[in-house]
Chain A
Amino acid sequence: MAAGTALETMTRVTAHEIAGREPGTASEEFSAVVTTHRPQIFRFLLASTRDVDLAETLTQECFLKAHRNWGSFRGESSAMTWLMRIAINLQKDHWRNRRMQFWRHTQTNSVDLDEASDWLPSGERSAEQKLLAHEQVGHVWQAVKGLSERQRTVFLLRYVEEQELSEIARATGLSEGTVKAHLSRALGRVRAELGGKR
C-alpha cells in the first residue's frame, strides 16, 4: 500500500452521497476514502499500540475488511466512523485472540515512552518550552499506558482525533454516558500523572 505523504482535507461519505452512488464509481469512491482516512486510522492505531509495524498491519487489515464490506456500507454513519469502528474491533480482536503473541510483539517492537515523547513539532519554541513539552507528553504517554483498553480508545479518539462524544459513542458502540465516564477516568489519570489532583 502506498504511503500517504500529507493529511488531506477530511471529506466524509455521507448517507446523501451513498444514495447517489453508481456501481461503476464504487472502487473510485473507496480509493478516495482510503486516501482520505488512512492517515487518521494509522495515527489512532499507532497511538494505541506504539508499534509502527503493528499499526501498519492493522491499518491494512482495516482497509481490506472495509473493501470487502464496502458494498454493504449504507452510510448511516460517516465513513470515518465506520472505518474507526473496524479499526477498534481489529485492535480488540488482536488483543483478545493473540494475547501472548501481542505482548511478546509489543514488548519487542513498541516504541519506548521516552522515544515517543521526542516527537514534537519544530515550532518557534525556546529550549525550556521544548523541555517542558517533552515532559508533559511523556507524562500523558505514561498515563495512557496505564489506561484500560476502552479508556485508552476513548481518550485517544477524543484528545488525539478530536472526535465528538457522539462520534466516539458510534465508533465504540458505547453509550455517550459510558464514553463520558471513561473519559473522566482517563483524564483523572492524566491529571494525576501530571501532578494534579484526581
Chain B
Amino acid sequence: MSVWKRWTSRPNERAGQIAEDKLEPALEQALKNFRVSVHAWSEAELSRPRTATKTVRQRSWRLAAGLTLGCALVAGGAGGGVYQHHHRQELARIAAARVAEQQRLVAEQKARDEEEDLLAKVDSDVSREVPSAMEPLAQLMDDTTR
C-alpha cells in the first residue's frame, strides 16, 4: 500500500503529520542516512575557509587582463601586417617612379643626341654643297661674324 493510500485511508490522521512510522525499516534507515550525510556535507562546507570570492575575482581579473592583452596582440599583429604591406607597396611605387624617371631621362638624352647629330650632318652637308663660285662670299660671311 502506498503512503498516499495510507493517508487517504486514515481520514482522522492529524493534518501535517505523515505516517512515517509505517515506512519500511530499510527505507527509513536510508532516509536517515541520507539526512545525516547531507548534514555532514553541509557542515563541512560551512566550516571550510572561504576563499571562493577572492579566487573568482582574481580569475575574473586575470581573464579580463588576458583578454585585453590578447586583443592588443591581435590588433598589434594585424596593424603591423597592414603597415608592412602598405610600406612595401609604397617602396615599390617609389622604385617604379624612379625607374620611369630614369627611362624618361635616357630617352630625352637619346633624342637630344640624335637631334644634334642630325643638325651636325645637315651643317656639314650644307657646307660641302656650297658651289666654288660662292666661296668668296662664304669667306666674307665668316669674316664678318668673327
Q: Which residues of A contact B (CB under 8 A)?
A: 1, 3-7, 38-39, 42-43, 46-47, 52-53, 55-56, 116-117, 119-121, 133, 136-137, 139-141, 158-160, 162, 164-167, 169, 176, 180-181, 183-184, 187-188, 190-191, 194, 196, 198
Q: For the complex, what is the distance from the CA of A187 to the CA of B23, rounded to whole Å?
A: 10
Give the residues in chain A near B15, CB-CB below 8 Å. 165-166, 176
- A137-B46 in contact (CB<8A): no
- B46-A160 in contact (CB<8A): no
Say yes or no for B141: interface residue by CB 8 A criterion: no
- B27-A42 in contact (CB<8A): no
Say yes or no for B60: interface residue by CB 8 A criterion: no
**B1-32 vs A: 1/0 string, CB under 8 Å?**
01110010000000111100001101101110
Which of B30, B44, B49, B52 makes the CB contact (< 8 A) with A194?
A: B30
- A180-B34 in contact (CB<8A): no
- B47-A116 in contact (CB<8A): no
Q: Which interface class (under 10, 10 to 19, 20 to 34, 35 or more) fits B?
A: 20 to 34
Say yes or no for B135: interface residue by CB 8 A criterion: no
Give the residues in chain B near A140, CB-CB below 8 Å. 30-31, 33-34
Q: For the complex, what is the distance from the CA of A52 to the CA of B26, rounded to whole Å?
A: 29
Give the residues in chain A near B31, CB-CB below 8 Å. 140, 159, 190
- B18-A53 in contact (CB<8A): no
With A165-B18, A180-B18, A184-B3 as given contacts, are A194 and B27 in contact (CB-CB < 8 Å)? yes
- A184-B4 in contact (CB<8A): yes
- B47-A120 in contact (CB<8A): no
The residue of chain B having its C-beta at the shortest distance from the C-beta of A187 within the complex is B3
Say yes or no for B37: interface residue by CB 8 A criterion: yes
Chain B nearest CB from A45 CB (Å) reads 9
- A43-B26 in contact (CB<8A): no
**B42-60 vs A: 1/0 string, CB under 8 Å?**
1111111110100000000
With A164-B16, A166-B16, A184-B4 as given contacts, are A119 and B44 in contact (CB-CB < 8 Å)? yes
Say yes or no for B39: interface residue by CB 8 A criterion: yes
- A39-B42 in contact (CB<8A): yes
Chain B nearest CB from A131 CB (Å) reads 12
- B18-A198 in contact (CB<8A): no
The residue of chain A having its C-beta at the shortest distance from the C-beta of B31 within the complex is A159
Q: For the complex, what is the distance from the CA of A7 to the CA of B39, rounded to whole Å?
A: 10
Chain A nearest CB from B108 CB (Å) reads 76
With A3-B48, A184-B4 as given contacts, are A160 and B18 in contact (CB-CB < 8 Å)? no
Chain B nearest CB from A58 CB (Å) reads 13
- A141-B45 in contact (CB<8A): no
- A194-B26 in contact (CB<8A): yes
- A190-B27 in contact (CB<8A): yes
Give the residues in chain B near A133, CB-CB below 8 Å. 33, 37
A-B contact pairs, 13 of them (CB 8 A): A3-B46, A7-B43, A55-B45, A119-B44, A136-B29, A136-B34, A137-B37, A158-B18, A159-B35, A160-B35, A169-B16, A180-B7, A180-B18
